[in-house]
């Protein structure tokens, strides 16, 4: 079923080229800034950081939190996120001395534990960083994924993050590229359709929705 969904979405939308970002660090910053925010606004914030020459762990470590907040203003929750970025770069300093390449030497489970201990990094942000910045085969669950899986009738509405993630990872080969593409495709689908309940006829997944026989 999950493989079927993936193939269908890929055939429909093609490769999504995620995550947009020029470096692992930019991906990490984007993962925090995109929390409950439109990516369009995140792009503006990242552009501001780049223009100011501050898109590096070293620069952000030096910069006052108020100044970071000013630069990331368009992404919303700017005070909260500025503090989160500070916590992220503080961790990077401790974990790898700002040399992100060295993070590869840490086991994925341990890395995830460390990330989750960073202020502002929850399950989705941690897994986005692991998959998209560090190339670890971890499936990312987000609001779109949860909604689509619920509409398909495959999980309950309040299924936990961990359970949803396990569902994907137990039923798919652990592969960075396909995990990357699958998550991006689910977001793409979630953005375009399936915003209303129940799963509408226009949804590309309508005919494989197990629960639509009742309708």
Site for DNA in 30-49 (CB under 7 A): 30-31, 34-41, 44
Contact assessment for residue 170 and residue 131, using Cβ atoms and an 8 Å cutoff: no
Site for DNA in 84-113 (CB under 7 A): none
Binding to DNA by residue 24, rule CB under 7 A? no
Of 126 and 205, which has the nearer Cβ to DNA? 126
Long-range contacts of 32-36 (CB under 8 A, 24+ apart): 32/81, 32/84, 32/85, 32/88, 32/120, 32/121, 32/125, 33/72, 33/75, 33/81, 34/75, 35/77, 35/81, 35/120, 35/125, 36/76, 36/77
Residues with Cβ < 8 Å from 15, sequence gap 6 or more?
181
* Span of 5-13, 142-150, 167-175, 207-215 interacting with DNA by CB under 7 A: 142-150
Of 46 and 103, which has the nearer Cβ to DNA? 46
Contact assessment for residue 143 and residue 120, using Cβ atoms and an 8 Å cutoff: no
Contact assessment for residue 45 and residue 73, using Cβ atoms and an 8 Å cutoff: yes
Binding to DNA by residue 163, rule CB under 7 A? no
Determine which residue in the list 122, 135, 174, 210 makes contact with DNA, applying CB under 7 A.
122
- What are phi and psi for residue 191, nearest 5 degrees? -75, -35
Determine which residue in the list 5, 18, 138, 182 makes contact with DNA, applying CB under 7 A.
18
Of 100 and 142, which has the nearer Cβ to DNA? 142
CA dist 54 and 71 (Å) reads 9
Of 125 and 134, which has the nearer Cβ to DNA? 125
Map tokens 């341990």 to a residue.
110
Binding to DNA by residue 119, rule CB under 7 A? yes
Binding to DNA by residue 142, rule CB under 7 A? yes
Binding to DNA by residue 144, rule CB under 7 A? yes
Tell me which residues touch DNA (CB under 7 A): 18-20, 30-31, 34-41, 44, 73-74, 76-81, 118-126, 128, 132, 142-144, 158, 160, 187, 190-191, 195
């Amino acid at each position: 079923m999950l493989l079927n969904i993936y193939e269908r979405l890929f055939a429909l939308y093609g490769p999504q080229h995620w995550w947009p970002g020029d470096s692992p660090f930019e991906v990490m910053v984007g993962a925090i800034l995109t929390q409950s925010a439109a990516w369009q606004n995140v792009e503006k914030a990242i552009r501001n950081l780049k223009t100011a020459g501050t898109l590096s762990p070293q620069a952000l470590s030096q910069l006052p939190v108020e100044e970071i907040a000013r630069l990331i203003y368009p992404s919303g929750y700017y005070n909260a996120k500025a503090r989160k970025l500070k916590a992220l770069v503080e961790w990077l300093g401790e974990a790898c001395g700002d040399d992100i390449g060295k993070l590869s030497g840490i086991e994925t489970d341990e890395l995830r534990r460390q990330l989750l201990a960073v202020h502002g990094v929850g399950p989705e942000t941690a897994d986005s960083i692991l998959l998209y910045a560090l190339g670890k085969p971890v499936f990312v669950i987000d609001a779109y994924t949860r909604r689509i899986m619920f509409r398909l009738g495959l999980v309950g509405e309040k299924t936990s993050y961990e359970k949803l993630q396990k569902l994907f990872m137990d039923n798919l080969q652990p592969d960075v590229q396909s995990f990357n593409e699958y998550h991006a495709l689910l977001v793409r689908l979630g953005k375009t359709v399936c915003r209303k309940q129940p799963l509408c006829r226009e949804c590309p997944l309508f005919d494989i929705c197990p629960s639509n026989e009742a309708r």
